[in-house]
Amino acid sequence: MTAFRTLDDAGSLQGKRVLLRVDLNVPMEGERVTDATRIERIVPTIREIADGGGRVVLLAHFGRPKGKPVAADSLRQVVATLSDHLGRPVAFAEDCIGEAASSAVSALKDGDVLLLENTRFHAGEEKNEAGFVADLAANGDVFVNEAFSAAHRAHASTEGLAHVLPAYAGRLMQAELDALTKGLEAPSRPVIALVGGAKVSSKIDLLQNLVAKVDMLVIGGGMANTFLHAQGKAVGKSLCEKDLAETALRILDAAASAKCRIILPVDAVVASAFKANAAHETVSVDAVSETGMILDAGPASVAEIDAAIDEAATLVWNGPLGAFELTPFDAATVAAARHAAERTRAGKLVSVAGGGDTVAALNHAGVADDFSYVSTAGGAFLEWLEGKVLPGVEALRVRG
C-alpha cells in the first residue's frame, strides 16, 4: 500500500483536530439501527486516533436531505449505537459548520470523539463548494477519509477537504484499497470475475471493463438469460433484456479479442412461477420451454464455475447466480460461494466481493467472513469495477 497516503504517513496526531469522514448511513427502523456493520468497521480507526491523543471530529451524511435540514435525517439518532460500539462517549454538535460546530470542537480534549450533524444539510456539500470546504476545514488540522462507500462522489467532505488539509486514508479505506489493488489493479493471475444480478443494462460498463482485465468471466443471474438469448437459445418467460442482444454479442466479441473466457450457464433450474418453493426442474439451456422461467444455474453450471475457480488465483465477485432470496433457487450461489470460501481458507485464492446483493448472498451462504475481503461500499465498489476514477480515492494518491 504505497500508492496512497495512510495513517502510517500522518505522524503523531496528539492534540490535533482530526476531521474523520465516515459512513454512518446505516439502516434504521424508527430510531433503532438495524444493521451496525458500517459502524463496527469504523471503530478501529476512531480508537487508533483517539488513543493516540487525537481529537476525533466525525463527518458523515445520512439519507438524502438535499441541502437542507431534515429532522428524520439527523445523525443524532446514531450517537447511542456509535458510542456503544466504541465503548466511550460521543459528543454531538447540531451543525457541521458555524458556531455550533466550532464550539463543540473547541471543547474537545485529547482522545475525545465528536460527531457533527449531517453534512448534506448544506447544499455546499454535494456541490463541493469552496466556501463550504473552508468552513469544514476551519475545525480540523488533518483530514482522514474512512468512507470508501462515498469515495465515488466529489463532495466537500469526501474530496474537497483532501485538497486543503493534510489528507490520509483511514484503516478501513486502506484495507479497501489494498483489497481492490489485489483484485484487479495488480492481481495474482489467473483472475476470474463472477458477475450476476438481474439486468445487463445496469452492468454494461462493468462487463466491458472486466473482459479486458480478467482471464475468465462468469455471467450469471438474470443477465445470463440475455446472453443466452443473444446466442439463439430460447429462455421462455425468463427475465431477459432482448433489446440488448447486440450489446451482449459485442461483449462476447470483446472477450474473445481479449482472450477472456466467458462462462455462461449450461443448465438451468426452471420454474413456472417466481416464488419460493415453486415447482421446478433442471434442464439444459437448450431445452427451456416456452412457459419456463430460469431462476437459477444448474449443478452442471456450478461444476464448471467451481472448476474455473480452482484454476484461478484471484476472484472478484459481484452479484448472485440466481434468485438467491427464494428457496431453492439459492443453490448455485451458495454452492459457488462456499467453494470459493474453501479455496480462500486453503490459501489458494484471493477473493474480493462487493455490492449490496453480493454481501447479502455471501451472508446467506455463511461465508462472508471467509472471503479475503467483502466490501460494503455498494456504488463505489461497482464504479471501481467499471474502471471509473473515484474522486475521494484519487485525492489520497501519492503523487510522484
CA distance linking residue 337 with residue 344, whole number of Å: 10
Strand 32-33 relative to strand 28-29, pairing? antiparallel
User: Annotated catalytic, 356?
Assistant: yes
Class of domain 7-173: alpha beta
CA atoms within 13 A on the CB side of 106: 8
CA-CA distances (angstroms) from residue 25 to 101, 119, 120, 377? 20, 12, 12, 11
Which pLDDT does position 86 carry in this prediction? 97
Class of domain 187-385: alpha beta
What residue has cell string 439459492? 330
Catalytic residue (choose from 53, 356, 387, 388): 356
CA distance linking residue 280 with residue 106, whole number of Å: 65
Catalytic residue (choose from 47, 199, 261, 388): 199
The yes-or-no answer to whether 7-173 and 187-385 have a common fold is yes
Catalytic residue (choose from 38, 153, 203, 343): 38
Cell of 191: 483472475
- The per-residue pLDDT for range 121-151, each reduced to its tens digit, is 999 999 999 999 999 999 999 999 999 999 9
Domain boundaries, the chain: 7-173, 187-385
Catalytic residue (choose from 53, 379, 387, 388): 379
Other beta carbons within 10 angstroms of residue 289's beta carbon come to 13
CA distance linking residue 324 with residue 330, whole number of Å: 4
Over its length of 400 residues, how does the chain's per-residue pLDDT go in tens digits? 458 999 999 999 999 999 999 999 998 888 889 988 899 999 999 999 999 999 999 999 999 999 999 999 999 999 999 999 999 999 999 999 999 999 999 999 999 999 999 999 999 999 999 999 999 999 999 999 999 999 999 999 999 999 999 999 999 999 999 988 888 888 999 999 999 988 889 899 999 999 999 999 999 999 999 999 999 999 999 999 999 999 999 999 999 999 999 999 999 999 999 999 999 999 999 999 999 999 999 999 999 999 999 999 999 999 999 999 999 999 999 999 999 999 999 999 999 999 878 988 999 999 999 999 998 887 888 888 888 889 999 999 887 5
